[in-house]
Amino acid sequence: MDNNNEPIFTLDPPMQRASGLHFVPSENNALRLAERLELTILSHGLPPGYVFGSEQQLARCYQTTYQAVRQALRILQWRDWGRMRRGAEGGLVIHTPNPGMAGKLLALHFSALGLTAKAVEQEQRQLLAKLTEHPVAWALVDSLFAEILAHLRGKHEAPGTDNRALRIARNILQDKTLGQTALGSIDDLCERYSAGKPIVVQALRVLESLDLVIGKRGRAGGFYFSRPGSSAIVKAVYPHFCAHIHDLAPVQDIINAINQVSAQQAASGSGSLAQLTPLHARLKHCRPDQLVALQIESFRTLADLAQLPVLHTLIRCLWLFTIKKNSADEAMAALNVGLIKVSTEQILMAVQKQDADEAGRLVGHYFSEAVLLDL
């Protein structure tokens, strides 16, 4: 297996600035290892029944500690990539994760942002209305949102597991009260959940992997609930999309529809459109090699103005999935510099004029002509 320490998720600096996605490698060995093992399952096509382990073997292979391996495997178990088996031939026994796992991860993210099921459902309706002529994409969105809403409404029971660390991770989230920020020290959590330090640390690693919890050192040290950024959920959902989405066409339809909704909402919303003026000016004078990043920044800015956090998160997840599934050659072949520049300028102008219908029409027309995937 590949034990290279290079970061798996990378974007060049212009694309990071344009997309707002910054994949900074974790300083924690367990989190880095969980990410690498998760993508190893996909890149090597590991079949159900394959055993990741033993823990001692993985520690030697990846030149890390036994404790880091155990924590990493618990994260993969929590993300439904397998179940731990004990004994001489023990380890994480791989299986294909439940298709609804992406919905569960997104639900945790939206819940941490304070979004209610009602707010998520409103954005779902806006998106589905744009997909009536795309039945495969419509069904994909409908099933994903069904999972998200079920978890937000508490209609899904947590899967049974013998692992206490995973139960404690769920309990920490369930026990959070409105406005609570401080979680406490590891000793506090050991006492609260009647568990030993190794178990509590494993639970915290699971929550840290989604930016739901952050550790702080020093006099005011301890663990705190955090407001998660988009990068963590995009990175977490990516492998689950890879495991279950094999046709990029409906994904492209969803991306196009979200961009339409964002442009129309930005044109008709209450947000300040002044920030589009410098974007428009930069488009007029940009070099061809800057154009793709600037177009992505334009669509991201429209999404920010639209104030649709659910759709904005979803399009970022889908965008990363598509650019990693497309080869560089395919992406370059899809570029049409003239179309990108003219269409993006027209879309920004329509939004600035607060002409929602025209903005939606132009986005739809652009994506019917272009193959390029945008954020």
pLDDT in tens, the chain (375 residues): 544 454 567 788 888 888 888 888 888 888 889 988 988 888 888 889 998 878 888 888 888 998 899 889 888 988 889 888 877 677 889 999 988 889 989 998 998 888 999 999 999 999 999 999 999 999 999 999 999 999 888 766 555 544 688 788 888 888 888 777 888 889 999 999 999 998 898 889 888 888 899 888 766 678 999 888 899 999 899 999 999 998 888 999 999 999 999 999 999 876 678 888 888 888 888 888 888 889 899 999 999 999 999 999 999 999 988 888 775 445 444 557 778 888 899 999 999 999 999 999 999 888 776 544 444
Find the farthest-apart pair of alpha carbons in the chain and give their distance in angstroms, rounded.
Answer: 69
115: tokens are: 């979004």
211: tokens are: 């930016």
Instruction: Give the closest residue to 316 by CA, choosing from 52, 26, 18.
Output: 18
d(CA 103, CA 100): 5
The DSSP call for residue 46 is P
d(CA 129, CA 151): 23
Count the helices and strands in the chain (H runs, E runs).
18, 6
d(CA 49, CA 95): 6
Alpha-carbon torsion angle 209, 212, 217, 218, nearest 10: 180
Instruction: Give the closest residue to 267 by CA, choosing from 301, 243, 218, 236.
Output: 301
d(CA 20, CA 73): 30
Amino acid sitting at position 209: S
Question: How many residues are present in the chain?
Answer: 375
285: tokens are: 């004078």
SS3 357: helix
Q: Percentages helix, strand, coil for the chain, rounded to the nearest 5?
A: 60, 5, 30
pTM (2 d.p.): 0.87
